[in-house]
Structure 1
Amino acid sequence: MAVRQGSVTNPVPRLGAIAVVISEGHVLLAQRRNPPDAGLWGFPGGHVELGETALAAAARELLEETGVIAAPVDYITNIDVIGRDAGGQTTLHYLLVAVLCDYVSGTPCAADDVEDAAWFPFEQVRRGDLPMSDRVASVLNQAIALRR
């Protein structure tokens, strides 16, 4: 889940989209390069641009970060990401829109602001075998339920 920190003196909520791509018992995850989730695995994604739908942003960010092409299908859920400093002041606020995407083509290759990108078996993610961003396993379970 890509989240970039905004201005600490005047934080503004931002909209982001994450691509949840599942295929043949696997889910595509990206390892973040930048804070706040540097080193953690999560869904590829990033900012929604002005005039762009969250569905389109998820597919665009997926391609930019992993080289994988997928077709956005439906909204899964929303995730609030709120960061606070030691004094409790809000330093960042993102609303991430999780988008279910159908895999089309491509081999995961890290690009843009990710260190690595790869397919992982559902069970490995559910067990928490990877250092992951918050709610990755629960969002994966929601995506799988939408597919049934």
Structure 2
Amino acid sequence: MPTAAEDPLPVVACVGAVVLDARGRLLLIRRGNEPGRGLWSVPGGRVEAGESVAAAVEREVREETGLAVRAGAEVGRVRVPGPGVVYDVVDVACTLLDPDAAPVAGDDAEAVTFAGAADLARLSCTPRLLETLRGWGVLPP
């Protein structure tokens, strides 16, 4: 029988978007699917075959929020256990291309919002999201 070390879980490449609006609020979606269904998180998802991290994060933001962004620098990376897999998530700072555009929930997002510090304190977010973003220095003041 193989041990856990000999039979590791598959790693799934994913992205997350750290998007701040002109008021410094963080773009969040309420997840419509597992993992984390019903919890708030940054927009993101799987990197498709042959897709760059930048293309994946721009696509995911568009699909989940209707907003167009330009991918910038990587702000951090986390590994999140999932059912039978490990999600390797690269979080990327993104710039809104139209700062006046309003987000609209789409794809697997149940809702979308821009959240300031007071909002973040009351929202039920995915595990360790706020602590991780705070550690990377990318949360709204």
- Bin of the TM-score, shorter chain as denominator length: 0.7 to 0.9
% same residue? 32
The answer for unaligned runs of 5 or more in structure 1 is 1-9, 85-90
Match of 2:114 in 1: 119
Count of residues paired in the alignment: 129
Match of 1:70 in 2: 69
The answer for unaligned runs of 5 or more in structure 2 is 1-7
Q: TM-score, normalising length from structure 2?
A: 0.82
SS for the counterpart of 1:144 is coil
Change (3 A) 1:143 1:52: farther
Highest CA radius of gyration, 1 or 2? 2
Match of 1:20 in 2: 18
Higher strand share: 1
In the TM superposition, structure 1's runs of 4+ consecutive aligned residues that sit over 4 Å from their partners are none
Tell me, yes or no, if structure 1 residue 137 matches structure 2 residue 130: yes
Q: CA RMSD in A?
A: 2.1
Q: TM-score, normalising length from structure 1?
A: 0.79
Contact 1:55 1:74 (C-alpha < 8 Å) held by counterparts: no
Match of 1:99 in 2: 92
TM-superposed deviation, 1:100: 0.4
Cα separation, 1, equivalents of 2:92 and 2:85: 22
Cα separation, 1, equivalents of 2:19 and 2:130: 13
TM-superposed deviation, 1:52: 1.3
Tell me, yes or no, if structure 1 residue 41 matches structure 2 residue 35: no
